[in-house]
Amino acid sequence: MTNSTTKPTTVFWIISIIALFWNIMGVVAYLGQAYMTDEAKALLSEGDQAYYANIPAWVTAAFAIAVFTGFLGSLALVLKKKWAKPMFLISFLTVVAQVVYNLFIQDFVALSGSRVILPLITVVIAAFLVWFAKNNIAKRILN
């Protein structure tokens, strides 16, 4: 069996680099939340303070898993490795878990505008990246 690969297109590289930056931003957002000081929390609205004070450990874990597996999946894309797909799949599932909590379970923060749109966009991007990795494995770009 040969392990030949197809040469990636410019679109592949553009999407891969954008995915890498998107997931780096996710890691930064997670670290910002995880290491938020009490002084920074005190500057937040009352609802946001209640949200951060009461966020369940499983939601924080889902956030961490989502961003770090998304980052690893993006790194795998740039390296043209097919382990991007399982990383993106784990990221997608944990993004969905986190979004379900934030949109349907928590009752500390009112949901409107970007508090609804950004999580939904994140789910769409996570699903797209699973498909993108799967599609590029089938095209033999990822090996």
pLDDT at residue 93, as a whole number: 98
117 within a domain of the structure (yes/no): yes
Which residues have C-beta within 8 Å of that of residue 134, sequence separation ≥ 6? 85
- The verdict on residue 50 lying in a domain is yes
Q: Is residue 143 part of a domain?
A: no
- Rounded distance between C-alpha atoms, residue 18 and residue 9, angstroms: 14
What string of pLDDT tens digits covers the 143 residues of the chain?
Answer: 455 678 999 999 999 999 999 999 999 999 999 999 999 999 988 888 888 888 999 999 999 999 999 999 999 999 999 999 999 999 999 999 999 998 888 877 777 777 789 999 999 999 999 999 999 999 999 99
What is the extent of the structural domain holding 125? 10-138
Tell me the pTM: 0.91
Work out how many domains the chain is built from and give that number. 1
Q: How far apart are CA 110 and CA 138, in angstroms?
A: 43
Residue 3 lies in a domain: no
Element at 104 (helix H, strand E): none
- Dmax (CA) for the chain in angstroms is 61
* Residue listed under structure tokens 């409107």: 112
Could you give the CA distance from residue 125 to residue 129 in angstroms, rounded to a whole number? 6
R_g of the chain computed on alpha carbons: 17
Is there a domain that residue 14 lies in?
yes
Whole-angstrom distance, CA of residue 9 vs CA of residue 82? 16
DSSP annotation of 102 reads I
The verdict on residue 4 lying in a domain is no
pLDDT for the residue 1: 44
In a domain, 54, yes or no: yes
Query: Is 121 inside any structural domain?
Result: yes
Helices (H) and strands (E) in the chain, counts: 6, 0
Please choose, from the candidates 99, 86, 100, 96, the residue with its C-alpha nearest in 3D space to the C-alpha of residue 129. 86
The pLDDT of residue 4: 61
